[in-house]
Structure 1
Amino acid sequence: MERTAVPVANVSLVERRSIDAIPDAERHGHLFSQFTLWLGANLQVTAVVVGALAVVLGGDVLWSLVGLFVGQICGGAVMALHGAQGPQLGLPQMISCRVQFGVYGAIVPLLLVCVMYVGFSAGGTVLAAQAVAELLHVSHAAAIVIFSLFVTLLAGLGYRTIHAMGRLSSIVGTLAFLYLFASLLNGHAFAALLANRHFTLASFLLAISLSASWQIAYGPYVADYSRYLPKTTSPAKTFLAVFCGTVIGAQVSMTFGVLAAALAGDRFSGHEVAFIVQLGATGAIAAVLYFTVALGKLTVTTLNAYGSVMSVAAILTGFGGRCEISPRTRLIFVLLSVAASSGIALAGQHDFLKAFSAFLLFLLVFFTPWSAINLVDYYWITRARYDVPALFEPDGRYGRWNVTGLAVYVAGVLVQMPFVATGFYTGPWVDALGGVDVSWIVGIVVPGLLYYAVLRRPHRRG
């Protein structure tokens, strides 16, 4: 990856900026950090579980791996297109949707983003706590508190520390997965696993949907972690760095999940953390694997906490027309966000958390149309010509409510409903598709085309 860096006026470990635009004098970093951040964020146990689902729900090894990879490409492309906006705008991801929905209208997807990422943080905290409890020999509740304290510290320090965590996680995760693959396949021929083929369209589409949805879920905050790069950074190279990191990391983790589910069956499903650590037997290696599980979840949970804080700040400042919050206020938001996710984790370690996870997956229905509208507007309508100061003015160029954008967004949500298949809600057309959820495809294509058709007129702003 190409290294792109400039001298930086502020080298403080604690981030001073929040949702305000990053001045040129404070731009810093290099593209390789985008690669390592998203590689490290995806080399983790939840991605392993998602990959395993492709087999647990009826797929074979070969076509599950192919389907997951196709989904990574599709979803990763959407996610990386959002990431490439960061250096050009110097803003957190969700601020830019004020162009499409208005300063007040943008609060609609922002509220949903807050709910989803606090919920994802809660789920990640429960998994991480299993590893922390074994590693430190403490109760599960104490492990949740300890893990949450580390999340608070890292999210409070901000951008630089988060990227440092990404570099560490990418190194540790790569070494750990090399060991895990060697241990898992010891005595098993990989070619024999691939030879067991029974292609069904439903299972193949399921694998694609699993990984594509995984990637699309990163969309609402991916630019938060590229916005400090110099404005001269190539959008194409930013796209490539983010895309390669997230696709490689997720595919490695999900491939391990597929193989583990195929070889271990019931010994893996529902006992993921224990199974992974048992591959290291006991003693020091087991401790290292517990640490690796906790570290991987720490990285992505910190991303969730930091992203949710940016969204909360965007909501509150939208009403007041402000373009920034103080470091102290940001820290308060971090504390509130982590406290909320920790409280959910403590209260819902068992059945409630499973039901809540189904609800969070249902919320993805509300982000695919947002993603489509944002990308079409940025790349094909305004062509990245955003009036950044006007993003913070309710009575300015973009207005308080953009009725057209909101109408397309609502249409994009509604058109997905017949195709949704989650534990929280299942649409009427799902059975005809073999039980596969293809709502994400509909949610990208339909509102994207509709938004372009409505707003492609020459007098469009920008």
Structure 2
Amino acid sequence: MMKRQTPFALERRTIEHIPAAERHGKPWHQLALWFSTNVQINTLITGAVTIGMGLDLTWAIISIVVGNLVGGLFMAYHSAQGPQLGLPQMVQSRAQFGFYGAVLPSAMVVLMYLGFAVEGSLVAGQAIATWAHVPKIAGIVVFNLVLLLIPLVGYRLIHAAGRIVAVISGVAFLALFVWLVPHLPSDPSGATTHSVGAVVSAMSVCVAWQVTWAPYVSDYSRYLPEDTPTRVTFTYTYLGSAVGGAGTMIIGAMAAAVNSAAVNSDAIGFLAGRFPSVSGLLVAALLLGLVPAGAEGPYGAFLTVLSAVSADGRVRSTAAARAIFVTCFATVASVLAALAGGSLLATFQNITLFVLALLVPWSAINLVDYYVVRRGHYDIPALLTKDGRYGTCNWWAVLIYLVSIGAELLFINSGMYVGPLVGFLGGADLSWLVGLVVGGMGYYVCAKLIRDRRPGPVARPSEPSALPGLADPVRGDHQA
């Protein structure tokens, strides 16, 4: 039996397969983690974006609920892969793209991590600067320095922090909801639009929020016992993320309906100001709510980069390597946040839609491969080698990924870029649907026509011979 460790025990693993002896935790921990990750100020601001896009509160809420319920499906299905494979998500992507081919989507994922780290730094930095009466850059630096402590320790502390923050954030946002309800405008429609294009685009923003968890959601479920049923992992993850995300975004839309300009300039300051007697505590609670998601960024980026440069992720000192990387990551995020300017809501919308365009084709390819083509059967030792049976680069899969992104560019509608076909759709941003269909269908057809993708065996941790570096690795395809 594995010796029980405290949340402050340093994580020894990087991207390696997690053996059965080190599996621990309960499926409901996924609910607590993803609830706390979604019940935070960045989620609230994403909900406020729907009002900034011109919707009234009713249509904003509809867009938020539909977008989170749809987007949550992607991330929950990725989460369900974790206990079965015991690997980080981007390592499993080697099966679709090859060892070097997987570097491309990995690079896109690192860009996503940076984008959301900048968002969190902007929000927290402004709040700290306002309440501590220091320059904004000082607030950004302080936030990222504090945030470094959790990813330096690793997986266990992220989960423990998530369970604590889930309660604190839940109480804080419930109090905000109670305050906002009687202060909503008597005429919530105002100078708003009900156009199909605006509603669909708002849904896309909410879908994007959920899809952004997909590249690393299984990083936090891979430690669960491998006999954890897929439906159980899926359900707990989905409820935590989709419900937590939708509820928090609705509060954000309500806040923007009350005072969009205040939310745009200093969201934490505006919300904390609703309770003057405990405003300091509320600022602390809202900042604390950024910790789990903020810690997941540099932690996940470290695993993603390692999966791109190392076959099995083995380094001389895991703690030192993680410390160097997350420190550099936080430094870059701080610099980018300090240089960022303009509207906070516009920045969130642009980053979110940009990330969505990059991730949806990858997600479609990954899910089709796992659930349809291979049906969960992978040669795990081969995934942890550079020249295994999955190849160095599956050019056809890389091409499908790039073609899918190219197709999406025709339908994107954001402040930074508007696709040429958006006008014909009444302004609706359907890029993610296009990426889903082109990526998923394209990969399925090519997998059937170009290569024999019959499932290979899953190397169980109870099979010592199947682990990397030992004799008699699993070879060849499993002929069903």
Q: Give the TM-score normalised by structure 1.
A: 0.91
CA distance, structure 1, for counterparts of residue 313 and residue 261 of structure 2: 52
- 2:325 is aligned, of 333, 350, 354, to 333
- Conserved 8 A contact 2:30-2:221: yes
CA distance, structure 1, for counterparts of residue 14 and residue 44 of structure 2: 33
Aligned match of 1:223: 218
Residue 269 and residue 147 in structure 1: after superposition, are their counterparts in 2 closer, same or farther (change >3 A)?
Answer: closer
- Conserved 8 A contact 1:128-1:298: no
- 2:13 is aligned, of 13, 17, 21, to 17
Q: CA deviation at 1:171?
A: 0.4
Aligned match of 1:8: 2
Residue 235 and residue 308 in structure 1: after superposition, are their counterparts in 2 closer, same or farther (change >3 A)?
Answer: same
Aligned match of 2:110: 114
Q: Does 1:50 align with 2:40?
A: no
* Matched residue type, 1:454: C
Q: Does 1:185 align with 2:186?
A: no
Aligned match of 1:408: 400
SS of 2:99's equivalent?
A: coil
CA distance, structure 2, for counterparts of residue 199 and residue 114 of structure 1: 36
Give a deviation string over 1:365-391, Cα, whole Å, max 9, x none: 121110000000000101111111111
Q: CA deviation at 1:404?
A: 2.1
- 2:283 is aligned, of 290, 303, 317, to 290
- Conserved 8 A contact 1:9-1:26: no
Aligned match of 2:269: 274
- 1:153 is aligned, of 149, 153, 166, to 149
Deviates more, 1:105-114 or 1:41-50: 41-50
Q: Does 1:70 align with 2:60?
A: no
- 1:61 is aligned, of 57, 77, 82, to 57
Q: CA deviation at 1:323?
A: 3.8
- Conserved 8 A contact 1:61-1:196: no
Give a deviation string over 1:101-138, Cα, whole Å, max 9, x none: 00000001111111220221122112112233345454
- 2:301 is aligned, of 308, 316, 321, to 308
* Matched residue type, 1:142: A
- Conserved 8 A contact 2:49-2:345: no
Residue 98 and residue 187 in structure 1: after superposition, are their counterparts in 2 closer, same or farther (change >3 A)?
Answer: closer
Q: Does 1:460 align with 2:453?
A: yes
Q: CA deviation at 1:53?
A: 1.9
- Conserved 8 A contact 1:119-1:357: no
CA distance, structure 1, for counterparts of residue 256 and residue 348 of structure 2: 24
Q: Does 1:162 align with 2:158?
A: yes
- Conserved 8 A contact 1:116-1:363: yes
Aligned match of 1:243: 238
Q: CA deviation at 1:262?
A: 1.9
Aligned length: 450
Superposition CA RMSD, Å: 2.5
Aligned match of 2:350: 358
* Matched residue type, 2:53: L
**Matched ranges for 1:363-374 at <5 A:** 363-374=355-366
Q: CA deviation at 1:247?
A: 0.9
CA distance, structure 2, for counterparts of residue 135 and residue 224 of structure 1: 35
Residue 214 and residue 398 in structure 1: after superposition, are their counterparts in 2 closer, same or farther (change >3 A)?
Answer: same
Report percent identity of matched pairs: 37
Q: Give the TM-score normalised by structure 2.
A: 0.88
CA distance, structure 2, for counterparts of residue 306 and residue 75 of structure 1: 23
Q: Does 1:397 align with 2:389?
A: yes
SS of 1:244's equivalent?
A: helix
Aligned match of 1:4: none
SS of 1:156's equivalent?
A: helix
- Conserved 8 A contact 1:131-1:293: no
Mind listing any 5+ residue stretches in structure 2 that lack a counterpart?
456-480
- 1:434 is aligned, of 426, 429, 432, to 426
CA distance, structure 2, for counterparts of residue 394 and residue 438 of structure 1: 37
Residue 86 and residue 390 in structure 1: after superposition, are their counterparts in 2 closer, same or farther (change >3 A)?
Answer: same
Residue 148 and residue 21 in structure 1: after superposition, are their counterparts in 2 closer, same or farther (change >3 A)?
Answer: same
SS of 1:419's equivalent?
A: coil
Give a deviation string over 1:198-234, Cα, whole Å, max 9, x none: 7432232122112111111111111111110110111
* Matched residue type, 2:258: L
- Conserved 8 A contact 1:355-1:424: no
SS of 2:215's equivalent?
A: helix
